[in-house]
Structure 1
Amino acid sequence: MEGKDIKKKFFTPDKIVCYIMSLLVIVAATAAVIMIVRTSICDAQENDFPEEKPVVLKSKKTQRHPLARGVHVSVEFYLTETDLSLTLDTDESYSLSIAKASGGEGINVKIHAVTYFGLRHGLESLGQLIVYDELQFRYKMPGKVEIVDRPVYRHRGLLLDTVRQFYSVKSIKRTIDAMAMVKLNVFHWHITDANSYPMKLQNFQEMARIGAYGPKEVYSVEDIREVVRFAKIRGIRVMPEYDAPAHVAEGWQFTDFVTCYNAQPWDQFCAGPPCGQLDPTRADLYDVLEGIYDEMNELFDQPDLFHMGGDEVYPSCWNISSHVQQWMMDRGWGVEREDFVELWNHFQTLAHERLKKVAPKTRAVLWTGTLTEANFVERFLPPEDYVIQVWTEGSGTGSHIPHLLAGGYDLIISNTDALYLDCGFGSYVGEGVNWCSPYKPWTKMYNNNITAMGGERHGQILGAEACSWSSISGEPGIDSRLWPRLSALAERLWTDPDTDFRAVERRILLHRRDLVNFGINAESIQPGWCLHNPSYCVR
């Protein structure tokens, strides 16, 4: 399918104007009262986005609430580019002004942006300026505002593991809606792993039939397209992850491509059951991977970043395969750690070649691991080809950040000591708490200063992601697991504040209430009394 056709299928002007108008508030009010009425105007045409000239989108109708007694509030949008592509380099800036109309009759709101995505952010900010006065039973907004805004970091995301526990498309979309509220712009979809294979590709349906938890716990091609479309309209890129060579088991067991499938005792062969790794020595494996990458590239709207996984590879998983042993012996290799790192690099090189063949403009992302250690990374992974996602600690001896930055690599930060949302809960094997405990509160995420981690090379840090792994938490608890902690990360990445969490304690309580009113069951962070008596709930 040609790129132009994909763009029309996923993201057409009529869809974005529908979305804008669903956000737009048509306001009728007195000076003290704002009455909000949503509109369902969706009448855009292709020529609403003419080439090479600014666009002004205005509601063609106004609505007045029957109880309104006052002035009219108009909202105008000004766009200067018609490009609807969404990439790491998309301009997300906007300006927002609120002022009294000439003659003192009414209020004018104007949002200027280079792209639709900046315009969308401006609408979110406008929504945050409209509040409900619980004493006067009225909506209010400020009469004069001037905002010029842009994000500090280009990559502001959430990883959601929908493999260990299945999440419905409905719950994924609700999460994306909440992400849009706080201007996060990347949904990292961890859609394959060892536990199940829920991705039902058109040309590889057998893998989902055998590997999914059940026939209803799969993502069809239509489901994937809908999530990508839904996210893009909300200014969010979907970055797919196809984890390999480790974290591979269910769905692959009917092939000869997997070693140590469900081997026991599992802790000798993998990080968690069931075990399994792709066999790098099988030449026809790479034809299968090319077909998977090709179909995923189309389904995910030709993403500019494609995550290839690449962590927690166990040499012991390969070493129990007689086929792997013979292949290595034929080449004069031994069975030491460095020999298996060479084998891993053999896989990564060939898999990356197949990805670039079907998606030449896409850049690969890999997790930190053995391949990204200082004595291997520059030898095996060219910095122009790879972005490295750091899940090791943000500082100290376990951090990969200093040598990766020195090697010229762009980074996405997901340091486990601050940005892992599943920490502090029970282990899913054995007793006690999980490996990354303790719990990471919103204060820890807010204070996680990724600019400081980068030092003089902070420009190589693209941004950060919080990671929600789903070993023991699924769809019923997703809202409280994510929110409002993700909101703290969102502010850190958008503004990079020079203050710590104490400066925002009052605001996050109010924001958490907004999330709940929006239908997100965000976790409580203080008793309700503190919302009304904030000065007494600090230390």
Structure 2
Amino acid sequence: MKYLLFEFLIVIFFVYVQCEITYIEVKYPLKGKRSAPNAVWPHPQQINISNDLLYIRPNDLAVYSNLQTCDIIAKAIERYKPIFFPPTLDMKQPSSNMENILQNLTLNIKGNIQCEKYIELNSNEAYNLTINEKIALVEAYSVWGLLRGLETFSQLIYINEQNYIVINNSVDIIDSPRFRHRGVMLDSARHFLPVSIIKKNLDVMSYNKLNVFHWHLVDDQSFPFESKTFPNLSLAGAYTPDHVYTPADVADIIEHARLRGIRVIPEIDTPGHTYSWSKSMPELITVCWAHGKPYQSIYSIQGEMEIFNPSEPRVYSTMDALLREIHERFPSNYIHLGMDEVYDKCWLSNPNIRQWMVDNNILSTKNLHKYYADQILDIVRNISVTPIVWQDVWDEQVELPPGTIIQVWKDSSDNIEFSSWASYLNRAANEGYNVILSSPWYINYISYGKYNTDASVMNLEFFKYYEVEPLQQFSGSNEAKERILGGEACLWGEFVDGTNLLSRFWPKAAAVAERLWSSADVNNSEEAQFRLDAHRCRLLRRGIPAQPILNGYCGNYELGMSKSMINHPSFNYDKLTRTETIIPSSGKSFASLSSSSSRMFSYKLYHIVYLILSLFFVYFCRK
């Protein structure tokens, strides 16, 4: 009998541990303060909220605005209905005699009421959000501020454990972004990204208050952008006719972004990264030589032909026409010109280019790159476009036009020949250039999910992105500091396509979003992990297959479960969106917080049954 009692205690202990553990290992307990299920991401500049709650009647929240005729506001109100009231989840109606019911939400423009069409670099995105006496009010000086406030309001709503929709009954938020340029860069050339996936990514950008989509359109591997001026570029350079962005596709993406307060900045990267051009315009590309023969590839050194030929006049007439078309089709007054990674071995191998350099007194390939850059920058001056360039061309001391934005991507952690990204940021801003930072935010650099430091063995991967402080080592004037516009989270496409973009990128890119929006002193990763975990569950409820942050669960709406919204038509843009059969369930649809102790024992019945079965197992083993 005493052995049976001993084994009984072992079983009890086993079940208890199984219920409690929600971190990677029991010996590594999580630090930080657990967050509320409706914690706001990114964190507002000022926030005061009560713990008391108001109820919201499902699908019955009146939303008013003094700018209701503006398409941006009208469509946002419609778009947020399935976000307020997730279409697959169980929601109870408060009883008719309940008085603590949120009556309505009002979105009001203060001052000069106007429906701006496109967000710009200097647009005002500040807003105030209050909930008082059962009335919610978002006020801003622009439609973009109203959009940001509406997003915050939506995050405060959640379904509690009794399946009622609730929100804090007293809220006072004053909020605005820390940086003006808060972007995401996607590469659609190495792998084609379907329009429907790009649009879902724009959705999740808006959920994180990001405002720039930097679209790396073309590269060596493919030319998926269908040009009206040069249709053969995509006809020959795209992977297939199906892997092309038509003019209608591009317009659709720009409009989708516009309605969410996101600028679309196209990148046409030259003179390198241009092999795909050779399939329709070989006359523009440098032929690489070796051993006295043309079209000679040398593994890891050069291809048979690559990189624009700066001595060819047709390069500049083609670029002039194409950039004019880009300017016409993309409403943003910015074009990213690339100009990175100009590997000069092919140029030097070509006898015609070497002779042209001698004839024109160009003494080095750096000067040759400078010659090319000067011609292209003259083109953008003539069409009144502000250029953005990767830092390489600035490294080579090309004089860039006033207002040029330099994108810093190099860092000593990647290559010992580079300086630190902080030193590049300092130098560029102090030289009078506008700057955006990407070096520490290459999300395509993936690891297991955690890393060790002297202080902890449980640093989550997103900590690396979250703990970056763009101005930590800045030593310039306040005027120079203003020239640091913000940054971008980048996802290069070598190993990314439509199957994994959203889960690879999110919620890690959300760490960058908070760093660029929130105050510099919002920087406690141990506490942020719980808010981000709650936010990850929120993204699942909005149809985004964001990967986990912490161990645990979100609810019965996870991917593959009966209430999942990943493929729900409300959150998808495929031409033939599959409508899933929703199986009725009486189970609770919990709000979020996958590792919250408040839900640690939500499956008590399961564990009681498990315990009884275990006892039977022990008893019969003794027999």
Coarse TM-score class (shorter-chain normalised): 0.7 to 0.9
CA 412–72 in structure 1, closer or farther in 2 if over 3 Å, else same:
closer
The residue correspondences of 1:445-464 to structure 2 (distance < 5 A) are 445-456=465-476, 457-464=480-487
| Matched AA of 1:517 | R
The residue number in structure 1 matching 2:514 is 491
Q: 1:124-167: per-residue Cα shift (whole Å, max 9, x none)?
A: 00001101102x11111011111111000000011000100001
Per the alignment, residue 175 of structure 1 pairs with: 201
Is the Cα–Cα contact under 8 Å of residues 93 and 164 in structure 2 kept in the other structure?
no
1:231 is aligned, of 248, 257, 260, to 257
Structure 1 residue 175: Cα displacement: 0.4
Q: Are residue 157 (structure 1) and residue 190 (structure 2) matched?
A: no
Change (3 A) 1:285 1:383: closer
Letter in 1 for 2:140: A
Q: Structure 1 residues 384, 129: CA separation in 2 closer, same or farther (over 3 Å shift)?
A: same
Q: Distance in 1 between the 2:490 and 2:535 partners? A: 21
**Contact 1:423/1:440 (8 A) holds in 2:** no
Instruction: Please list, as runs of the form range in 1=range in 2, the aligned pairs for 1:422-461 lying within 5 A after superposition.
Output: 422-424=444-446, 441-456=461-476, 457-461=480-484
Cα distance between partner residues in 2 of 1:509 and 1:198: 36
CA distance in 1 between counterparts of 2:545 and 2:77 reads: 34
Larger RCO (alpha carbons 8 Å, 6+ apart): 2
Scaled by the length of structure 2, what TM-score is found? 0.69
Q: Which of 550, 567, 579 is the aligned partner of 1:526?
A: 550
Q: What is the distance in 2 between the residues matched to 1:357 and 1:40?
A: 50
The 2-side partners of 1:363 and 1:43 are apart by 35
1:122 and 2:149 correspond = yes
1:348 matched to 2:373? The reply is yes
1:219: how far off?
A: 0.3
2:55 match: 33
Q: Matches of 2:349 and 2:192 in 1, distance apart?
A: 31
1:351-370 maps to which residues of 2 (within 5 A)? 351-358=376-383, 360=384, 362-369=385-392
- Using the alignment, how far apart are the partners of 1:74 and 1:323 within structure 2? 72
Q: CA deviation at 1:227?
A: 0.4
Equivalences for residues 399-414 of structure 1 within 5 A: 399=421, 400-414=424-438
What does residue range 332-347 of structure 1 map to in structure 2 within 5 Å?
A: 332-334=361-363, 339-347=364-372
- Offset at 1:521? 0.8
Identity %: 27
CA spacing shift, 1:133–1:41, aligned 2, 3 Å: closer
Mapped to 2, the partners of 1:381 and 1:366 lie a distance apart of 12
For residue 159 of structure 2, what is the aligned residue in structure 1? 132
After TM superposition, give the deviation of residue 201 of structure 1 in Å.
1.1
Alpha-carbon separation, structure 2, partners of 1:534 and 1:154? 38
Pick closer, same or farther for the CA change 1:390–1:513 going to 2, 3 Å: same
- Structure-1 residue corresponding to 2:404: 386
Q: Distance in 2 between matches of 1:84 and 1:394?
A: 41
Is the contact made by 1:249 and 1:274 (CA closer than 8 Å) also made in structure 2?
no
Give the CA deviation at 1:99: 0.9
Q: Which runs of 5+ in 2 are unaligned?
A: 1-51, 86-90, 289-294, 449-458, 554-593, 601-623
Aligned-partner SS, 1:523:
coil
Structure 1 segments, 4+ long, off by >6 Å, are 38-45
Query: How far off is 1:484 after superposition?
Result: 0.6
Which structure 1 residue ranges, 5 or more long, are not aligned? 1-29, 50-54, 101-106, 427-438
Shift of 1:527: 0.9
| 2:312 is equivalent to residue 282 of structure 1 | yes
> Aligned residue for 2:167?
141
C-alpha RMSD of matched pairs (Å): 3.3
1:242 is paired with a residue of what secondary structure? strand
* Counterpart-to-counterpart distance in 2, 1:423 and 1:406: 30
> Does the 8 A contact of 1:421 with 1:440 survive in 2?
no
2:246 maps to 220
Q: CA deviation at 1:95?
A: 0.8
1:421 aligned partner: 443
Contact 2:159 2:166 in 1 (8 A): yes
Structure 2 Cα separation of the partners of residues 131 and 450 of structure 1: 33
**Which residue of structure 2 lines up, in the alignment, with residue 91 of structure 1?**
124
**Structure-1 residue corresponding to 2:540:** 516
- Alpha-carbon shift at residue 199 of structure 1 (Å): 0.3
**Alignment match, 2:341:** 312
Task: Compute the displacement of 1:66 (Å).
Answer: 9.9
**1:188 is the counterpart of 2:214:** yes
Write the letter of the residue equivalent to 2:347.
Answer: W
Do 2:53 and 2:168's aligned partners in 1 also have CA atoms closer than 8 Å?
Answer: no
Q: Which residue is 2:137 aligned to?
A: 110
Normalised to the residue count of structure 1, the TM-score between the two structures is: 0.79
Q: CA, structure 1 residues 534+394, in 2 after alignment: closer, same or farther (shift >3 Å)?
A: farther
What letter matches 1:365 in structure 2?
Answer: I
Partner secondary structure for residue 117 of structure 2: coil
Query: Higher Cα Rg: structure 1 or 2?
Result: 2
The alpha-carbon deviation at position 42 of structure 1 amounts to: 12
CA contact 1:258–1:278 (8 Å) conserved in 2? yes
Change (3 A) 1:383 1:459: farther
Cα pair distance change 1:274/1:510, threshold 3 Å: farther
Return closer, same or farther for 1:217/1:249 CA change in 2, 3 Å cut-off: same
SS at match of 1:147: strand
CA distance in 2, matches of 1:77, 1:173: 25
- 1:292 corresponds in structure 2 to 322
- The verdict on how the C-alpha distance between 1:344 and 1:95 changes in structure 2, with shifts beyond 3 A counting, is same
> CA, structure 1 residues 327+165, in 2 after alignment: closer, same or farther (shift >3 Å)?
same
Give the corresponding residue for 1:431.
none
Using the TM superposition, give the Cα deviation of residue 500 of structure 1 relative to its aligned residue in structure 2, in angstroms. Answer: 2.8
Task: State the shift of 1:180 in Å.
Answer: 0.2
Distance 1:140-1:201 versus aligned 2 partners, 3 A rule: same
Inter-partner Cα distance in structure 1 for 2:194 and 2:209: 23
Q: Where does residue 22 of structure 1 map in the other structure?
A: none
CA distance, structure 2, for counterparts of residue 58 and residue 186 of structure 1: 22
Tell me, what secondary structure is at the counterpart of 2:445?
A: coil
Pairwise CA distance, 1:252: 2.8
Q: Which residue of 1 aligns with 2:617?
A: none
Query: Which one-letter code corresponds to 2:322 in the other structure?
Result: I
Q: 1:87 to 1:535 in 2, by over 3 A?
A: same
